[in-house]
Amino acid sequence: MTEPAACVFCRIVEGREQASFVAQGADVLAFLDLHPITEGHTLIVPRKHAASIGEVDEVSAVAMWSLARRVAAALGASGLRCEAINFFLADGAAAGQEVFHSHLHVIPRPGGLPRAFARDPALARRRLRDQLPAALRGGRGSEGARRHRGAASEAALLRLEHRRSAS
């Protein structure tokens, strides 16, 4: 994980690295992605270093989405080719996060591009689709969170994981 002193986004927040700023607020800022997927691709970044979205404080998390909405509206009115918008947040290396300072991508989508995400047709056929929402409402999360939930919730998750591996 990136320490704040070595974090490129922290250096941008502190003014030690250059960026093309789109908007700035008390808790978050927006700047153009250095390696954009499409023209206008913007990053929304909390000012306070947080490697993952779970570490972002509530005020900054709300401010990230609020600023992302404003940026999306501005992109739509900008004259850029923007028929739709993708919001993307990779949380962790397995999800594709490359800079470990939580950030939200706002990506204008011109028509004619391939879909950003394709569905796995096998998932639609699984019995799990009926059981997964209940498991998620139960708060499946980190090991630390699991320890605080109690034996009944843990047993239900273990049964769900067993069913999933058996299917």
Q: What is the CATH number of the domain that holds 69?
A: 3.30.428.10
Tokens of 73: 């509206």
- What is the number of domains present in the chain? 2
Rounded to whole angstroms, how far apart are CA atoms 50 and 60? 10
Query: Is 115 among the domain residues?
Result: no
What pLDDT shows up at residue 1?
56
92 and 133 inside one domain = no
From residue 48, give the alpha-carbon distance in Å to each of 11, 61, 72, 74, 152.
11, 11, 23, 25, 37
**Could you read off the pLDDT tens digit of each residue along the chain, which spans 167 residues?**
566 778 999 999 999 999 999 999 999 999 999 999 999 999 999 999 999 999 999 999 999 999 999 999 999 999 898 999 999 999 999 999 999 999 999 999 988 877 766 655 665 555 555 666 666 777 544 444 444 444 454 555 555 555 555 54
Question: What interhelical angle do 151-166 and 128-137 show, nearest 10?
Answer: 160
35 carries an active-site annotation: no
Q: Which domain holds residue 156?
A: 121-166
Catalytic residue, chosen from 101, 103, 105, 148, is 103
Token readout for 42 is 């913007």
CA angle in degrees (0–180, nearest 5) for 101-105-109: 165
Q: Do 126 and 101 fall within a single domain? A: no
Q: Are residues 24 and 85 in the same domain?
A: yes
